[in-house]
Amino acid sequence: MAVNLFYFFIFPGLIFAAVTGALLSWFDRKISARVQFRKGPPLLQPFYDFFKLLLVKETILPRYGSTFIFILAPLLAVFGAAMAGVFILLPLFNINTGFRGDMLVIFYLLTLPSFSYIIGSLASGNPLAAVGGSREMKLIISYELTFILFIAAIIMKSGQHFDLRTVIETQQAGTPFIGSISGVLLFVVGVFCAQAKLAMVPFDMPEAEAELSEGIFIEYSGPPYAMIKLAKYIMLFILPAFIVALLMNGMRPGIGILWFVLKILGVVLLLVLIKNTNPRLKIKQASGFFFIWMNLLVVIAVVLTAFGL
């Protein structure tokens, strides 16, 4: 029991994932700044933002909303992100949980933050938040099918194993999955799914700050908004970690830790470059992009996997 609480709150869970994710968030902002020939924020900027929101600012509750759900939704988002972080990072750090079938649990837990954003935005009673919530719903419907097919393709490649530890061990015994044609296709699909899950720029229509002024988060202020920031930091770390675990053979001990860090930074760099070089899509275009092109790619990858390529 104590060890489980330690796993959840301290080492691979809440605090570790949040600190790493905050540093990655600084990396994101710094790279964005360098792309635009700016200097960028200082290293501890995400921590300043988080503690300012948590400790200094006042919480305002909407009068025409459901207060209880409005406050509960950010906590649910942090819970989902931290729990998914535990399930992803424990096998990645070579701690054997003995849990068969955790990939499906990870799939469900990774959806939890997006769902709680929808619940919170609809509970706030703000029309702009409602528009953002409906856009987030459509975005989830678009990318979830692609994401489950992506996971299914990985399961097929690893020889019908449903647990992340065996997937990583299969890759460490042989070659990483990205070293094949289907692996490259799956990497493209995985990166775009991560982009949509993180609501980064080509797919940021739920929180479009130009026309919806932060959309789903418009009514949040103070500590609840700090919780949303925390969930976003954790997601920014665990989604690249999940891609690295599924396609790039995870982490080996010793010098492998350095390679692991570089792989994570590489995936985040790719996400940030996509974010900085693309305009926002319309929700219809995003749905079409996932329903047609990404599903096509992932089905081709599945077929190639069946032929052993």
Partner 1 sequence: MGFKDYCFRKSLWVFHFGGASCNNCDIEILDCLTPRHDLERFGILLVGSIRHADVLLVNGSINTRDKDRLIELYRQAPKPILVVAIGACGCTGGIFAESLTFAGPVDAIIPVDAYIPGCPPKPEAIIAGIVKLAGKK
Nearer to partner 1, 26 or 143 (CB): 26
As measured in angstroms, the least distance from the Cβ of 49 to partner 1 is 5
Per-residue x/- track, 162-201, partner 1 (CB under 8 A): ----------------------------------------
Q: Are 123 and 66 in contact (CB under 8 A)?
A: yes
Nearer to partner 1, 40 or 125 (CB): 40
As measured in angstroms, the least distance from the Cβ of 214 to partner 1 is 5
Of 148, 156, 166, 222, the residue at the interface with partner 1 (CB under 8 A) is 222
**CA separation for the pair 73, 115 (Å, rounded):** 9
As measured in angstroms, the least distance from the Cβ of 89 to partner 1 is 28
Q: How far from 57 is each of 7, 44, 126, 224, CA to CA, in Å?
A: 30, 19, 21, 10
Nearer to partner 1, 97 or 276 (CB): 276
Give yes or no for residue 276 binding partner 1 (CB under 8 A): no
Nearer to partner 1, 209 or 257 (CB): 209
Q: Are 302 and 156 in contact (CB under 8 A)?
A: yes
Give yes or no for residue 42 binding partner 1 (CB under 8 A): yes
Of 23, 97, 214, 299, the residue at the interface with partner 1 (CB under 8 A) is 214
Q: Which stretch binds partner 1 (CB under 8 A): 145-153, 185-193, 220-228, 289-297?
A: 220-228
Give yes or no for residue 225 binding partner 1 (CB under 8 A): yes
End-to-end CA distance of the chain: 44
Question: CA torsion, points 194, 199, 205, 206, in degrees to nearest 10?
Answer: 120
Q: DSSP states of 200-230 as a string?
A: -GGG-GGG-TTTTTTGGGTT--SHHHHHHHH
Give yes or no for residue 43 binding partner 1 (CB under 8 A): no
**CA separation for the pair 83, 297 (Å, rounded):** 30
Site for partner 1 in 54-73 (CB under 8 A): 55-60
Burial profile 112-147: b = 16 or more Cβ within 10 angstroms, e = fewer: bbbbbbbbbbbbbebebbbbbbbbbbebbebbbebb
Q: Which residues bind partner 1 (CB under 8 A)?
A: 29, 33, 36-42, 44-45, 47-49, 51-52, 55-60, 209-210, 212-214, 217-222, 225
